[in-house]
Amino acid sequence: MKVVRITQPGGPEVLAFDERPEPVPGPNDVQVRVRASALNRADLLQVRGAYPPPQDVPQDVPGLEYAGEVVAVGPRARKFQVGDRVM
């Protein structure tokens, strides 16, 4: 999958496009094909090294806001189905 990652603390110039392996959803998780995402103030502070990212996400990839479509569902995930649109 394509990601924008933080290469070091700084401004927009420290963001780089990269490829990562497709994640596999855990038993209670869903996998979402992202169609749109955004950066908010916390993300911009994270890029500058002034705000810690949540512990349960990749530490070098900003952007927790997104919209897309569920493409895989873990065996115990009950709230969503493949094809659901989420944001």
In this prediction the pTM is: 0.81
Interval 27-82: pLDDT, tens: 999 999 999 999 899 999 999 999 998 888 889 999 889 999 999 999 999 999 99
Interval 50-61: pLDDT, tens: 999 888 888 999
Superfamily of chain region 2-86? Medium-chain alcohol dehydrogenases, catalytic domain (3.90.180.10)
**CA 13, CA 9: separation in Å to the nearest integer?**
10
Domain boundaries, the chain: 2-86
What phi, psi does 50 have (nearest 5°)? Answer: -105, 5
